[in-house]
Structure 1
C-alpha cells in the first residue's frame, strides 16, 4: 500500500540532508560490468565510495539490471550485499534502481563492448529493453527479479529507497533504433503499475519512487502523460530530474510542492546546460530537497562528454568543460571549488 503523505514526510524528517551521486565504479561501462561476477570490482567501489564520503556524501543512486539476476540470481544478491557492506562502512545508504529506459534497448549480458571513443554513456543498457517490454511473456521473469531483489533487502536499514524505474517513458536516446514515443508510453503505462505492485508485495520498509524527467508542467493542473500520472500516484516520495538553469529548477520544485511529499532530485548537474553545484546545490539546501547528481569518478561511462558526443564524438580533443562527473580516476577534483562547496554545505547541514 502506498505511504500516506504524512508517513512519507515523517520518514524524510528522520533523514539527514541527502546528498550524493549516481554511482558506478570508473572501471564499469554499464550495469552489467558493475554487477556481473567476472567484473564486479569491490576494491574500486570501496576506494571511490570512500572519496564520496570524504566530501560529505551520504547516499548514492545505483542501477541494477534484470538480466543479471536472470543469469545469476544468487550471485547478484550476494554482490548487492557485498556492495551494501562497503557502502555502510562509509555511511552511504544507496537508492537502488530496478528498471531503466535509457540508452541501448537491446541489453546483452556477458562480455561488454569497449567504450565508443569520445562518446557519452556509450554502453549503458536499458532494463528490460525493447524485447522485454514488448513481449509480455517476459513479465513473469521481471516480476520474479523485482520481488527477489527487494525481498532480500526489504528490511535492510542500509538501503535508503527503491527507485522502481528510471525515466520509464524515455525513448532511449542516442543512435539506437528505439520504440516511438506513443508505443513506449503505452507499454510502460501498462507495466509500471505492476512493477510498483511487485515491489510493494515484497514488504519493503523503504519508500518507493519513480522520477519525473520531462514535459513542461508537473503540477496537479499540468498536462501529464499516462506514465507521469502513474509515477505521481504511486510514488511514496517524489523524485525528479533537472539538468537546467536554477530558475527552471526552482519552478520545478514549485510545481511539485502541492503534492505534499518529500522531494528528491535524483539527477542534476550538467555544466554545459547551466546546472551546476554552485546553483543547484544551494537551491536544494534552501528548499530541503535531496540532491543526487549524475556522475562521480570519470571512467568507462565517459559521462564527462556531453550528450551531443553521440553525433560528434570527442576523439581528438577532450571537451574543455566536463558535462558530468566530479573527480578524475585518481581522485583529483575536476574543480576544487566544487568539492569544497559540497564538503562545506554537507558539513553545515550536519551541524
Structure 2
C-alpha cells in the first residue's frame, strides 16, 4: 500500500463520514489475521500502518523473561538487553517481521475491510434515518412482489409490506407509488429491516393529518380510530375551537378531503364521527349512519344498550356485524343493539 491508500481513506471520510483512523484500526486488526493465516505464525504480532505514506509493518511481540519456555512468545532478558539495555523483565520486545510480499496481501485485505465498513456505515445511516420515522407515513414505489411480500423502494433502501399488512384484494403492480405506515424498524445483520403497513389504523390518522390543515395545526384532534382495512373505518374527531366544525373540516369542501383519503385506500368507506365527552352521545354517533332512539349505559361494566328504529336495525348492526363492531372499538364500550319492536316485546 502507498500514499494513495491514505488519500482514498481521507476521501471516504469526507464522503461517507467514516473516520480515517477507525478504518485504519480495522485494517490493522484484519491484517493480523491475514498474516497468521498466510504465514502460519502462532506468534503474537502487531501491525502498524503509517498514517502518512500507507506503509505496512509487521512486528513480532515477545514477553521478556528470565525463564524462556516458548521461543515464539518469549525472549530471555539477556538477549533483549543486547538490542536495548533499557529493557527489563515483563516488558514487551518487538522485532520487525514484515514479509517481502506482504504489501499485496495487505492491499487485498484493506480493500475487503474498507468495503465492509462502508457497507456497515451506510446501513447505520439508513437505520438512523428510519428509526426516527416509526409511526409515520411514507411514500414508496413498488419494486417487486415475491412470496406474498410486496417490496417497496424508499430510495436508498427497500421496505417490506407483509401479507398481513396488505389491504385485502388490493393489487400491487411494479412501479405503483403508494403510501404506507412505518410499523417497525429492526436492526439485523443484513442491515435495517423496515416493516410497512396499509392496514394499520395509524395510516388513516396520518392521511387525515396530511389532508386536513386543522388536524395538522392542532385545531382539530383525532380522538380514536377503528378500522377494518379495505372495507370501512370510523374516526372520532373533536374541535378545540368552537368556531371550527371538526367533522366539516375533515370532510372538506364538497367532500374533497375525505375523498382523497378514500381514493388512496382504494374505496374504503370512512365514517367521520363527532367526539363527545358524553358517553351516550358518543355511542349514538358512533353507530352512524344509523339513527339511535335511546342509549342506556352501565358505567361500571362499560356496556351500553342501544335502541334503533326497526327499519334501521340491520344498518346499525352492519354487514356481518361490522358497523356495531367498529363502533365498539371506536368508543371502547360493549354495545348491545335492539330494535323498537324487540324492546316492546
Q: Normalising by the residue count of structure 2, what TM-score does the alignment of the two structures yield?
A: 0.26
The structure showing larger relative contact order (alpha-carbon pairs under 8 Å, at least 6 residues apart) is 1
Query: Hey, which of these two has a bigger chunk of strand by percent?
Result: 2
Structure number with larger C-alpha Rg: 2
- Scaled by the length of structure 1, what TM-score is found? 0.26
